[in-house]
Amino acid sequence: MLNVALLVSKLWVINVLIDGENEGVGVIVQDFDPKVAFARVNRQRLHEAFLEHHVLCLRGGSLSHESFLRLSRYFGEPKIQLLSDYHLDECPEISVISNYNNIGRGEPHVRATHWHTDDSYFARPAKATALYAQALPGAGGDTAFIDCHAVLDAMPASLRHLIEGRKAVHKYLSRRGKAVVAERNDAEIKETPDVSHPLIRIHPDTGRRALYINPNRIDHIEGIPIDESDTILDEIYAFAFETRFQFRHQWQLNDMLIWDNRCTMHRATTNFDISERREFLRILLKGEVPE
């Protein structure tokens, strides 16, 4: 573990999230005490760390629903998530993500095991996702990430040329999607018409460019034949999924993890006994129209 910065207070040491080639991507704030945070934290510094490292873990204290919501507001404005079945009755901004939710019809089921970025089927996808770990298996169950700035920076010009200036159509139910996705009610279907987003987007806070793909939801690239689009998408995905761009978070109970959907992808891993409960509270933060 490598010290990369000291944030807000000397009590908090930030370490690189994982060992890997993406040094500085993903940080953990150790011994995070929400009571101290609410009294003393410099919100701006915390937000800057989020922007710099893309994935930020606040580790140390258990959080009430109210505290989780309050901390999330340090990074943006919570939105009401699409699928109302998963909302907490007492706090609709918070959803429950569990391997025992109803998508598995009562059987344990690990969702989101394919690379994706959250919410891209909306015209304004969530800028960030915050998860709070409230039940974890005895071992494993990591969340893996891809740094999409690093992918674009390393992409050969010949490959980048194929997507530069192009948009892709994102659908809730994509022709190419491999993941089992939750069913929508009629109102939710109306809320999720097809949308198109640039394949390379400019981060609105940092000005950096990143590859913006969601293999679960992209159906095709606009303006070219479908078979050509499929070939290009296959090439782009194969490059983006190279292990050199990946890192992962090993959860501890009560971790609050927040990541930037504008420059990362993520997926759940299945390196655990799925009969053991793995459960998070989730908040999505309102985002911008990708440009």
Q: Which of residues 120 and 229 has its CB atom nearest to Fe ion in the complex?
A: 120
| Phi-psi group of 8: left, alpha or beta (phi > 0 → left; psi -120 to 50 → alpha; rest → beta) | left
Q: Which residues bind Fe ion (CB under 5 A)?
A: 112, 118
Q: Which of residues 119 and 219 has its CB atom nearest to Fe ion in the complex?
A: 119
Shortest gap between Cβ of 277 and Fe ion (angstroms)? 18
Q: CB neighbours (10 Å) of residue 186?
A: 7
Spatial separation of the C-alpha atoms in residues 233 and 238, rounded to whole Å? 8
Shortest gap between Cβ of 281 and Fe ion (angstroms)? 14
Q: Which of residues 91 and 112 has its CB atom nearest to Fe ion in the complex?
A: 112
Q: Which two tokens stand for residue 216?
A: 């679960």
Phi, psi of 231, deg, nearest 5: -65, -45
Q: Which of residues 12 and 197 has its CB atom nearest to Fe ion in the complex?
A: 197
Work out whether strand 128-135 and strand 256-260 pair parallel, antiparallel, or are unpaired: antiparallel
285 neighbors 196 (Cβ within 8 angstroms): no
Shortest gap between Cβ of 83 and Fe ion (angstroms)? 12
Shortest gap between Cβ of 45 and Fe ion (angstroms)? 27
